[in-house]
Amino acid sequence: MISTLNGVLFGMLLFLLSSGLTVIFSMMGVLNFAHASFYMLGAFFGYQLTRWIGFWPAFVIAPLLVGAVGMAVERYGLRNAHKHGHVAELLLTFGLAFAIEEIVSMIWGKSPVDYRVPALLDFPAFTVFSTNYPAYKLFMLVVSGAIFIALLIVLKKTRIGLIVQAALTHPNMVGHLGHNVGRVFMLVFGVGSALAGLAGVIAGPSLVTQSNMAGLLGPILFVVIVFGGLGSLPGAFIASLFIGLIQTFAVALNGSLASIFGPLGPGFGPSVLTDIWDVTIAQIAPILPYMLLVLILIVRPMGLLGTRET
């Protein structure tokens, strides 16, 4: 029960990030390596602003700041690199991710910062099996759920959403129809970064706010969008929840082959076999997403709901 809630929560966080990433990717063809860095920036901006002006203003301002950073990156960085091709854009975001991590660890240090849950939400919401479930996690769930619904409405019901959706599948045609594709790109990039920033602000107090958090989450994000199918928002949603649940459950489980079938005979000694035999599911949780990635690539290379061969 608790694990399910946590898994859904982690999945929703992943979706906040992967939705922006996959929309940016399918519209602009740019795999934004710095996306997880925007998430980290959000967490650190949130932390700093919380110290200066309190959590609630930070909750609003930090994502906007991150969005502004994202727009600046698109306007002054990616747009210039675009003329050198997609590889240059990809490398630019890679360099940015690297630089942002260094800047963050330079300013806030390498150790975790003390980013606390706001006092208003610092109480147990309910108790299951004598475990308290913190209200803040419920708040995270509500926020990410609300964002998800808002995103759905914007994409399905508004004109901007229509343009974005059209640009997902037919970017050139949208340009031909006279929309300022450059501005749409900048907007989408900004909103995507802001969503990542928001994820950072709300995840920061609950998870650890540290300068390596982007490096830890970034590769998982890529797994999510490849797994769900590149450019597919529903795919990203399903994959986010799936990977969120799997990882959370795996961390909670302590079983290993040894605990099921009993320890191996001493004849095997310390070898690869005993390593695999004794490893607990919790220990392999970090590599599960990558195993899924390899699996999906062998079974269905375009991802769960993907249709495009990129």
Residues binding another protein (CB under 8 A): 25, 29, 31, 77, 80-81, 84, 86-88, 90-92, 94-96, 98-99, 102-103, 106-109, 215, 219, 222-223, 226, 230, 270-272, 274-276, 279, 283-284, 286-287, 289-291, 293-294, 297-298, 301, 309-310
Min CB(135)–another protein separation in Å: 33
Tokens, residue 265 = 């005979």
DSSP state of 229: -
Burial class (CB in 10 A: 0-12, 13-18, 19+), 153: exposed
**CB-nearer residue toward another protein: 92 or 199:** 92
**CB-nearer residue toward another protein: 103 or 252:** 103
Min CB(185)–another protein separation in Å: 17
- Nearest CA-CA partner of 115 in 70, 58, 67, 63: 58
**For residues 106 and 91, what is the distance between their CA atoms, to the nearest angstrom?**
22
Min CB(166)–another protein separation in Å: 21
Question: Where do the H-state alpha helices sit in the chain?
Answer: 2-28, 35-53, 55-72, 79-81, 86-108, 135-157, 159-169, 171-176, 181-203, 213-228, 233-252, 257-261, 272-278, 281-284, 288-299
Min CB(290)–another protein separation in Å: 4
Min CB(295)–another protein separation in Å: 10
**CB-nearer residue toward another protein: 203 or 226:** 226
**CB-nearer residue toward another protein: 165 or 274:** 274
Min CB(67)–another protein separation in Å: 21
Number of H helices, E strands in the chain: 15, 2
Tokens, residue 251 = 């961390």
**CB-nearer residue toward another protein: 144 or 210:** 210
**For residues 69 and 62, what is the distance between their CA atoms, to the nearest angstrom?**
11
Q: Are 277 and 300 in contact (CB under 8 A)?
A: no
Min CB(8)–another protein separation in Å: 24
Q: Are 66 and 132 in contact (CB under 8 A)?
A: no
DSSP state of 131: E
**CB-nearer residue toward another protein: 271 or 307:** 271
Ramachandran area for residue 89 (φ above 0: left; ψ -120 to 50: alpha; else beta) = alpha
**CB-nearer residue toward another protein: 47 or 222:** 222
